[in-house]
Amino acid sequence: MALWMSWKVWPIASAGEDVGDIEGAVHAFDVSVRRIQERAMTPEEAVALGDQARTIREQMLSDGRAAVERGQRWTAQAGEVDVTLIPRS
């Protein structure tokens, strides 16, 4: 199921994109998080963001997957990170 995914890392960055499925959403999220860690954070901030991103990733693969399979919008937040998934027909 195709999805629209938007994410934010406050106050650093935000983006959105069409993805093919949950795995694609997780991959896009991971790539974005790595870029932010490498380009815009101290090592300590990067570790904290990694922890927050790990929490979101786990939720995307469980609760997020279940919600979009039911055709429902899903949003989660951990610290300064939030992600929204919207099923596309």
pLDDT at 2 over 80: yes
d(CA 76, CA 55): 9
pLDDT score of 89: 73
Q: What is the pTM of this model?
A: 0.92
pLDDT digits over 27-85, tens only?
999 999 999 999 999 999 999 999 999 999 999 999 999 999 999 999 999 999 999 99
Q: Residue 40, CB half-sphere, CA atoms under 13 Å: how many?
A: 11
Per the listing, tokens 């927050």 go with 52
Report the pLDDT averaged over residues 10-32: 95
Q: Name the residue with higher pLDDT: 1 or 82.
A: 82
pLDDT at 1 over 80: no
The answer to whether 2 touches 86, Cβ cutoff 8 Å, is: no
Cβ neighbours for 33, distance < 8 A, ≥ 6 positions apart:
9, 49, 50, 53, 81
Q: Which residues pair with 43 in a beta bridge?
A: none
- b/e map of 42-56 (b: 16 or more CB within 10 Å)? eeeebebbeebbeeb
